[in-house]
A and B are shown apart, each in its own frame.
Chain A
Amino acid sequence: MTTAIIADDEVNLAKHLGDLLKRVWPDLELLGTAHNGVEALALIARTTPDIAFLDIRMPGLTGLDVARSVPAGTRVVFVTAYDQYAVDAFAAAATDYLLKPVSEERLRQSISRLNVQTPLQADRLAELLDRFAAQTKPERLQWLRVGHGETTRLVAVDDVLYFQSDSKYTTVVTADREQVVRLSIKELEDQLDPEHFWRVHRAIIVNVRAILEAKRDLRGRYALRIRGRSEELRTSEAYAHLFRHM
Chain B
Amino acid sequence: MGNRRDFLKRVLVSYALTSFFCLSIAILLAPLALTESFNTTLIISFCIGLSINTAGLLGDRLCRWESWYLAPILITCSGLGFGLIIAGQLVMGDTWFFFSSDYSSLIAGIFFGVVGFLVFSTREQLLNTRMQLAEAEAARIAQERRTLETELKLLQAQIEPHFLFNTLGNIASLIRDNPDGAESTLHNLSRLLRASLKRTRNETNTLAEELEIITAYLDIQKVRMGDRLDIALIIPDNLKAQPLPPLLLQPLVENAVIHGLDPKLEGGGIGIEATVEGDQTVIRVADTGLGFRTVSSGNGVGLRNVRERLAALYGTAASLELLENPSGGITAELRLPGSQQ
Contacts and interface: CB of A to CB of B under 8 A. Distances in A.
Answer yes or no: are A and B bound together in one complex: yes
A13 B177 CA distance: 12
Nearest to A83: B162
Interface string B311-340: 000001001011110000010000000000
Given A152-B323, A152-B324, A176-B316, A10 B170 contact: yes
A213 B37 CA distance: 51
A16 B171 CA distance: 10
B265 A12 contact: no
Interface in A32-59: 36, 38, 57, 59
Given A36-B265, A59-B265, A154-B292, A101 B165 contact: yes
Contact of B165 (A59, A81, A142, A158): A81
17 contacts: A9-B225, A9-B262, A10-B166, A12-B226, A19-B173, A36-B265, A59-B263, A82-B165, A101-B171, A101-B172, A142-B300, A145-B292, A153-B321, A153-B324, A154-B324, A158-B300, A159-B304
Contacts of A158: 300, 304
Given A82-B166, A142-B296, 10 more contacts: A13-B169, A13-B173, A15-B177, A57-B162, A100-B168, A143-B292, A143-B295, A153-B321, A154-B295, A154-B323
A57 B264 CA distance: 12
B176 A60 contact: no
A131 B166 CA distance: 26
A156 interface: yes
Interface string B253-295: 0000000001111000000000000000000000000001001
Contacts of B174: 12
B33 interface: no
Contacts of B164: 81-82
B70 interface: no
B300 to A, nearest CB: 5
A175 B333 CA distance: 18
A84 B161 CA distance: 10
A214 B2 CA distance: 12
A139 to B, nearest CB: 7
A38 B96 CA distance: 95
Given A59-B264, A82-B164, A16 B292 contact: no
B262 A59 contact: yes
A151 interface: yes
A146 to B, nearest CB: 10
B324 A12 contact: no
B224 interface: yes
B295 A100 contact: no
Contacts of A134: none
Contact of A101 (B62, B162, B168, B262): B168
A102 interface: yes
A136 B300 CA distance: 17
A153 B320 CA distance: 11
Contacts of A82: 161-162, 164-166
A218 interface: yes
Contact of A16 (B172, B295, B307): B172
Contacts of A139: 296
Interface string B132-175: 00000000000000000000000000000111111011111110
Smallest CB-CB A-B distances: 9 pairs: A16-B173, A100-B169, A81-B165, A154-B322, A101-B169, A82-B161, A152-B324, A101-B172, A81-B166
A235 to B, nearest CB: 15
B146 to A, nearest CB: 12
A99 B164 CA distance: 12
A246 interface: yes
Q: Which of B3, B161, B162, B316 has the most chain A CB within a 10 Å cutoff? A: B162
